[in-house]
C-alpha cells in the first residue's frame, strides 16, 4: 500500500527542536497559550457528567467507520453524487493537487479563497496551486497570519500560536496593501484589519477550497466547524466550491454528530459550542460543488491493527496543548502538518516509519495525551509500537547491540550479578561530592545537565544475601 | 504476609538504599520479606525503546523468578505499570501465548509500594518520623499507567514531623522518559529545568516520588545545581531512616 506524500516529513526531531528550545520568546508564547487553553479545556470538560461516556461513544463511532470504511465511502459517494456534487478520488498528495489545480484552472480563476483545512496543508495544495499560477488566500485569521509571514503553521488549531501580537501587527503593516499605517497591536484592531482585507477577497474571488471536519455517509452532508464566520462566507459566496476531505473524516449517521459536536469544541478551544457550524448537502443554487476524497497513506494506516486508531483523530489539538514536549519544542520541530503527540504517531503512520524515524521517539511517554484525547487514542502505546517498527527497519546499530547485550545479561541471574558488580567500577569516576559529573558520549547527553549517582559498593541483592 | 520484593534493576545496581528501606518498612509492619533469586529487570526499557522482541526473554525471566510468590511488591510505579500493562501484551504480540498467560497471573499479584500499603494492607500510618519539609512529585507512570492516585500522599500525610508542601504543576512530566532523556536530551533538559524551579519554589529540602528513575533525573539536576534539595524515594521517607 502506498505511503502518504506531501508535508509530512522534516528534519530529525532532536535537531529541529533545538531552534525553539533556544528561543526564549517563542517558549514563553507557547507556554502561555497552551497553559491558558489547557485550563479552559479542563473547566468545560469537567462540566459534563458523562464525558467518559461521550468519549467512549466517539471512539466507538470512529472505529465503526474504520471497520467498514469501504462501504461507508461508497455510500457517501452515492449520496454526494445524487445531490449534485462531483466526487473525485485521490491516492496521494500529488494526485489530489492535480485534481484541484485542474478544477480551478477550468474555471479560469487565478485566485482561490480557502477555509482552514488540514488536508490541504497536508498535501501542500497552496504550493501546488502557486506553481500553476494560482494564488490561494487563507481566510482563517491565524492561517492568514502564517501565510503572510511566509511561515509554517506550528499548531493545528492555532497555527500562529508561536507569534505574539506585536509580531502580527508588524506583519500586517508589511504585507497588507492599504492597511491603516497607525495600526496598533490591540487584538480588535488586528482582527478588524484582517476582516477588511478578507472582505475584499470574498467579494471578488469566485472559487473556494474547503476541508471538512465531518462527512456524513448516510446523507452526503459535509460539516465545517469554525469560530470566525469567514469559513461560512467562503462556503456560500463563490460559484465553485472544492472540498478536500481525508477518507477517515466520515461518520455513518447524521445522529453521530451529536457526539462529536460536544467533544470537538470542548477539547479544542475549551468552548461549550463553537460559534459557527456550517453544514451543506450538495451545492447551493448556481454553485458547482466538488469533493476530493484523499487517501494519502490512510489505507496503509488502516492496514496496521496497532496503528489504525490514529485515524480516529478529529484534529481537536487537545493532545498538543497538554503535551510537555510540544510546549517546549514547538510545532515546527515535528516537521509535518501534524505536530504534537498525534503528529508523532500520525505522520510516521501515513508516510511509513522509514521516512519519519525520529518522531516516534519525540515523547517522554508521560501519557497525558491519552488522558485528554476525546476519542481515546492510546498515543503512548502507539508510539511504542512505532518504535518497534523503527528498530525492525534498521540494521545493527550501536544502540541495538547494547540493547541485545543488556537483554542477554538480564536473562541470566549470574550474568546480571556480574554486570551490576562491574558497575562498581563507576565508583572510580565519582568526584568528591560522591556523584559523577562528566561522562563521554553518548552518556554526555545525560551528564551535560545532570549528575549521575556514584554506584554503591554493594548491589542490593549482594547486600541482602550477606545480611 | 510473605512478600516477594522485586527491587528493579535500577534499585539493585544504583540505589540499594531504596531496596533496604522498602524491606525495612515491610518488616517493621510485621511481614516476611523474601527476595527471589533470579530476578533482574522488568524489561521496560527494551519495550519502550522499540526492542520488544529482545524483552520477551527478560519478561520470561521475570515471570519465572516470581512464579511462586504470593504477592510481589516493587518500589517503582513504572516497573509495576510495565508488569501489569506490557508483559502479557508483548508476550502475546510475539506469539508466546503461554507466557502471556503466566505473565497475567504474576501481574495480578504485583503491586507498587503505595498501592500495597494502602489497598492490600489497609494502612496509611506506617509509623514513620521524618522532620523535614518535603514535596511530592507524582511520576507519570505511577499516576497515569498505574493510577496510584493520592495513595502516596495519604501515606506521607501520616508521617510525623513532616512539613508536606504542594508541588506547583505536580502532574507535569519531569522529562525523564527513559531513553528520551538521551535521545532528546535538550528537550528533556528544558522540561527538567521547569520541574526543578517548581521544586525549588516550594522551599522543600526533600523531593520525593515513587520511582527511582525520575528521581535519578530530577535529583541529578538538583545535585548539579548544588541546590541543597535532595531527591529521596517514597520508601526512604516512609521507612523514616533517612537522616
Ligand atoms: S489525537 Fe485526540 S487529542 Fe490529539 S488532536 Fe486528535 S482527537 Fe485531539
Distance CA A191, CA B128 (A): 60
**Closest CB to B181 among A324, A370, A446:** A446
CB contact under 8 A, A13 and B184: yes
CA–centroid distance, residue B16 to ligand 1 (Å): 41
Assess contact for B174 and B192: CB atoms under 8 A: yes
CB A253 within 8 A of CB A74: no
Coil/strand/helix, residue B51: coil
In chain A, the residue whose alpha carbon lies closest to the alpha carbon of B169 is A35
In a domain, A373, yes or no: no
Sign, Cα dihedral of A454, A458, A462, A465:
negative
Q: List alpha helices for A114-223, DSSP H.
A: 118-123, 125-131, 141-148, 165-175, 187-204
What angle, 0 to 180 degrees and rounded to 10, lies between the N-to-C axes of helices A187-204 and A165-175? 40
Residue A181's CATH number: 3.40.50.10420
The residue of A333, A387, A444, A464 whose CB has the most chain B CBs within 10 angstroms, and thus the best one to mutate to test that interface, is A464
A393 found inside a domain: no
Q: Which of A342, A380, A382 to mutate to test the pocket of ligand 1 (most atoms within 8 A of CB)?
A: A342
C-alpha A404/C-alpha A406 separation (Å) is 5
Strand-pairing partners, residue B83, are none
Q: What is the pTM of this model?
A: 0.94
Angle, CA of A16, A357 and A387, to the nearest 5°: 120
DSSP string, B70-134: SEEEES-HHHHHHHHHTHHHHHHHTT-HHHHHHHHHHHHTEEEHHHIIIIIS--S----B--SEE
Search chain A and give the residue with CA nearest B33.
Answer: A464
pLDDT computed for residue A24 by the predictor: 87
Give the pLDDT mean for B153-170: 97
- Let me know if B37 is exposed, middle or buried by CB neighbors in 10 A (0-12, 13-18, 19+): exposed
- Residue A331: left if φ>0, alpha if ψ -120 to 50, beta else—which one? alpha
How far apart, in Å, are the Cα atoms of A121 and each of A4, A8, A126? 13, 10, 8
* Cα–Cα–Cα angle for A11, A13, A17, rounded to 5 degrees: 100
For chain A, the C-alpha Rg in angstroms (whole number) is 25
Nine cell digits for residue A61: 463511532
Give me A317's grid cell: 489539538
CA distance A407 to B56: 9
Cα-based distances in Å from B89 to A20, A185, A421, B54, B82: 37, 54, 32, 14, 10
Residue A295 belongs to a domain: yes
A80 and A291 Cβ atoms separated by less than 8 Å: yes
Residues on chain A touching B192 (C-beta within 8 angstroms): 449-450
Beta bridge partners of B163: B133
Chain B residues with CB under 8 Å of A412 CB are 61
In a domain, A75, yes or no: yes
State how far Cα A110 lies from the chain centre.
30
Q: What is the pLDDT along chain A (467 residues), one digit of tens a residue?
A: 778 999 999 999 999 999 889 988 888 888 988 999 999 999 999 999 999 999 999 999 999 999 999 999 999 999 999 999 999 999 999 999 999 999 999 999 999 999 989 999 999 999 999 999 999 999 988 888 888 887 777 776 766 677 788 888 998 999 887 788 889 989 889 888 888 888 888 889 999 999 999 999 999 999 999 988 888 888 888 999 999 999 999 999 999 999 999 999 999 999 999 999 999 999 988 999 999 999 999 999 999 999 999 999 999 999 999 999 999 999 999 999 999 999 999 999 999 999 999 999 999 999 999 999 999 999 999 999 999 999 999 888 999 999 999 999 999 999 999 998 888 777 777 666 778 888 888 788 898 899 988 899 999 999 999 98
Distance CA B59, CA A358 (A): 27
A6: alpha, beta or left, given left = phi > 0 and alpha = psi -120 to 50?
A: left
Does residue A428 share a domain with residue A296?
A: no
Interface test with B, best of A326, A359, A366 (most B CBs within 10 A): A366
Residue A59 Cα to ligand 1 midpoint, Å, equals: 11
User: Which among A329, A388, A410 has the least Cβ separation from residue B41?
Assistant: A410
Residue A122 to residue A237: CA distance in whole angstroms: 25
Chain B residues 44-63 within an 8 A CB cutoff of chain A: 45-55, 57-58, 60-61
Given an 8 Å threshold on Cβ–Cβ distance, is B40 in contact with A413? yes
**Nearest in space to B209 (alpha carbons), one of B157, B146, B153:** B153
Classify residue A459: in a domain, yes or no: yes
The torsion defined by the Cα of B179, A372, A331 and A214, in degrees rounded to 10, comes to 130
Of A300, A327, A347, the last residue of a domain is: A300
Inform me whether the pLDDT recorded for B243 exceeds 50: no
The residue among B12, B168, B177, B182 with the most chain A CBs within 10 A of its CB, best to mutate, is: B12
A93 in contact with ligand 1, CB cutoff 6 A? no
Ligand 1 atom at minimal distance to the Cα of residue A372: 3
Residues of chain B neighbouring A329 (CB-CB closer than 8 A): 187
Is there a domain that residue A388 lies in? no
Residue A222 in domain: yes
- Domain end: A283, A300, A317, which one? A300
Sign of CA dihedral A149, A152, A154, A156: positive
The answer to whether the Cβ–Cβ distance between A324 and B20 falls below 8 Å is no
In this structure, are residues B234 and B155 in contact, taking their beta carbons and an 8 Å threshold? yes
- Tell me which of A272, A300, A328 is where a domain ends: A300
Question: Which residues, at least 6 apart from B194, have a Cβ–Cβ distance to it below 8 Å?
Answer: B169, B172
Average pLDDT in the B223-227 region?
A: 93
Give dist(CA A329, CA A335) in Å, integer.
11
**Contact (Cβ atoms closer than 8 angstroms) between residue A190 and residue A169:** yes
Cis geometry, peptide bond prior to residue A442 (ω within 30 degrees of 0): yes
Strand partners, A250: A215
Residue of A nearest to B85 (CA): A381
Phi, psi angle pair for B160, to nearest 5°:
-75, 140
Domain count, chain A: 2
Q: pLDDT > 90: what percent of chain B?
A: 98
Is residue A217 domain-resident?
Answer: yes
Residue B111: pLDDT above 70? yes
The Cα of B159 is separated from the nearest Cα of chain A by a number of Å equal to 26
Give me the pLDDT at residue A289, please. Answer: 97
Q: Could you report the predicted ipTM of this complex, rounded to two decimals?
A: 0.95
- For chain B, helix (H) and strand (E) counts, in that order, are 14, 8
Rounded to the nearest 10 degrees, the angle between the axes of helix A141-148 and helix A165-175 is 70
How far is A140 from A209, CA to CA, in rounded Å?
12
C-alpha cell recorded at residue A300: 496503509
Interface of A with B in 55-74 (CB under 8 A): none
Determine the structural domain holding residue A460 and report its residue range: 414-466
Pairwise CB contact (< 8 Å): B177 & A448 = no
A 5-24 residues with CB < 8 A to B: 13-14, 17-18, 21
Across the interface, whether the CB atoms of A403 and B220 are under 8 A apart is answered no
Q: Quick one: cell of A387?
A: 518504535
CA distance A189 to chain B (A): 35
Residue whose CB lies within 8 A of the most ligand 1 atoms, among A159, A331, A375, A376, for a mutation test: A375
Reported as a single tens digit per residue, the pLDDT across B176-204 is: 999 999 999 999 999 999 999 999 999 99
Residues A263 and A134 in one domain: yes
The set of cell numbers assigned to B4 is 516477594
Amino acid at each position: 500500500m502506498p505511503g502518504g506524500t506531501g508535508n509530512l516529513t522534516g528534519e530529525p526531531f532532536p535537531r529541529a527542536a533545538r531552534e525553539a528550545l533556544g528561543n526564549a520568546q517563542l517558549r514563553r508564547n507557547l507556554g502561555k497559550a497552551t497553559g491558558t487553553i489547557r485550563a479552559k479545556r479542563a473547566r468545560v470538560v469537567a462540566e459534563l457528567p458523562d464525558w467518559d461516556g461521550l468519549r467512549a461513544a466517539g471512539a466507538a463511532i470512529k472505529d465503526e467507520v474504520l471497520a467498514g470504511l469501504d462501504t461507508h465511502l461508497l455510500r457517501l459517494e452515492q449520496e454526494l453524487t445524487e445531490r449534485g456534487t462531483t466526487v473525485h478520488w485521490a491516492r496521494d498528495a500529488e494526485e489530489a493537487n492535480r485534481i484541484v489545480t485542474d478544477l480551478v484552472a477550468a474555471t479560469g480563476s487565478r485566485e482561490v479563497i480557502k477555509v482552514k483545512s488540514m488536508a490541504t496543508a497536508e498535501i501542500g495544495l497552496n504550493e501546488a496551486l502557486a506553481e500553476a499560477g494560482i494564488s490561494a488566500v487563507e481566510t482563517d485569521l491565524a492561517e492568514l497570519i502564517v501565510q503572510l509571514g511566509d511561515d509554517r503553521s506550528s499548531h493545528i488549531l492555532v497555527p500562529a500560536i508561536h507569534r505574539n501580537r506585536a509580531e502580527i501587527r508588524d506583519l500586517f503593516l508589511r504585507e497588507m496593501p492599504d492597511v491603516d499605517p497607525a495600526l496598533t497591536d490591540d487584538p480588535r484592531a488586528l482582527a478588524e484589519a484582517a476582516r477588511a482585507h478578507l472582505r475584499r477577497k470574498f467579494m471578488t474571488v469566485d472559487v473556494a477550497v474547503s476541508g471538512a471536519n465531518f462527512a456524513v455517509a448516510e446523507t452526503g452532508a459535509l460539516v465545517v466547524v469554525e469560530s470566525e464566520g469567514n469559513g461560512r462566507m467562503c462556503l456560500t459566496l463563490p460559484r465553485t466550491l472544492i472540498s478536500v476531505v481525508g477518507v477517515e473524516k466520515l461518520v455513518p449517521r447524521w445522529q453521530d454528530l451529536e457526539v462529536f459536536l460536544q467533544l470537538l469544541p470542548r477539547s479544542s478551544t475549551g468552548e461549550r459550542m463553537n460559534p459557527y457550524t456550517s453544514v451543506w448537502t450538495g451545492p447551493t443554487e448556481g454553485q458547482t460543488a466538488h469533493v476530493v476524497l484523499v487517501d494519502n497513506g490512510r489505507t496503509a494506516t488502516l492496514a496496521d491493527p496497532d496503528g489504525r486508531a490514529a485515524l480516529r483523530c478529529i484534529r481537536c489539538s487537545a493532545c498538543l496543548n497538554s503535551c510537555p514536549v510540544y510546549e517546549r519544542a514547538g510545532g515546527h520541530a515535528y516537521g509535518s502538518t501534524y505536530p504534537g503527540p498525534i503528529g508523532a504517531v500520525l505522520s510516521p503512520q501515513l508516510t511509513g516509519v522509514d521516512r519519519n524515524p525520529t518522531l516516534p521517539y519525540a515523547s517522554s511517554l508521560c501519557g497525558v495525551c491519552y488522558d485528554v484525547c476525546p476519542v481515546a487514542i492510546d498515543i503512548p502505546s502507539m508510539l511504542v509500537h512505532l518504535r518497534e517498527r523503527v528498530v525492525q527497519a534498521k540494521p545493527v546499530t550501536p544502540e541495538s547491540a547494547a540493547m541485545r547485550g543488556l537483554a542477554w545479561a538480564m536473562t541470566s541471574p549470574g550474568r546480571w550479578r556480574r554486570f551490576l558488580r562491574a558497575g562498581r567500577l563507576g565508583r572510580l569516576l565519582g568526584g568528591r561530592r560522591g556523584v559523577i559529573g562528566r561522562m563521554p558520549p553518548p552518556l554526555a547527553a545525560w551528564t551535560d545537565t545532570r549528575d549521575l549517582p556514584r554506584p554503591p559498593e554493594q548491589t542490593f541483592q549482594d547486600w541482602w544475601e550477606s545480611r | 504476609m510473605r512478600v516477594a520484593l522485586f527491587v528493579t534493576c535500577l534499585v539493585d545496581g544504583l540505589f540499594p538504599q531504596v531496596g533496604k528501606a522498602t524491606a525495612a518498612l515491610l518488616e517493621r509492619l510485621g511481614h516476611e520479606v523474601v527476595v527471589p533469586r533470579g530476578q533482574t529487570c522488568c524489561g521496560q526499557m527494551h519495550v519502550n525503546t522499540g526492542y520488544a522482541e529482545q524483552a520477551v526473554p527478560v519478561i520470561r525471566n521475570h515471570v519465572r523468578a516470581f512464579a511462586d510468590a504470593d504477592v510481589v511488591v516493587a518500589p517503582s510505579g513504572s516497573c509495576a505499570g510495565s508488569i501489569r500493562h506490557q508483559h502479557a501484551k508483548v508476550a502475546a504480540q510475539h506469539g508466546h501465548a503461554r507466557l502471556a498467560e503466566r505473565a497475567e497471573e504474576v501481574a495480578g499479584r504485583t503491586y507498587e509500594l503505595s498501592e500495597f500499603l494502602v489497598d492490600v494492607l489497609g494502612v496509611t500510618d506506617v509509623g514513620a518520623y521524618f522532620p523535614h519539609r518535603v514535596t511530592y512529585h507524582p511520576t507519570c507512570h505511577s499516576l497515569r499507567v498505574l493510577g496510584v492516585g493520592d495513595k502516596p500522599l495519604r501515606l506521607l500525610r501520616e508521617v510525623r514531623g513532616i512539613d508536606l508542601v504542594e508541588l506547583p504543576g505536580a502532574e507535569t512530566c519531569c522529562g525523564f522518559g527513559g531513553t528520551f532523556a538521551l535521545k532528546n536530551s535538550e528537550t528533556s533538559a528544558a522540561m527538567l529545568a521547569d520541574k526543578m524551579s517548581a521544586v525549588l519554589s516550594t522551599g522543600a529540602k526533600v523531593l520525593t516520588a515513587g520511582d527511582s528513575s525520575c528521581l535519578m533525573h530530577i535529583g541529578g539536576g538538583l545535585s548539579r545545581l548544588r541546590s541543597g534539595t535532595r531527591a529521596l524515594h517514597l520508601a526512604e521517607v516512609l521507612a523514616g531512616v533517612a537522616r
